[in-house]
Amino acid sequence: MQSRSGVFLVFEYAQHDLATLVDDHHAKHGRSPFKPSEVKRLTLQLLDALHFLRSMHILHRDLKLSNLLYDHRGMLRVADY
């Protein structure tokens, strides 16, 4: 979005980053918040996202759980690239 005073970036809201989600859930329950099938689904989403970035000649140099955003629909988003 652009206005006379500048350019504004508007992003879809994601409720959590994976680092906080995993740490908070593990502290409360002593285990991961994800079942193995969910880990597989999230891994495939991450690989698809990285493949797309690579196809656009973009290299993410700081890939970590806190840069993976997780929304209310269970969709993963790569941030800070």
CB 18 within 8 A of CB 26: no
Indicate which residues carry an active-site annotation. Answer: 62
Tokens for 20? Answer: 């906080």
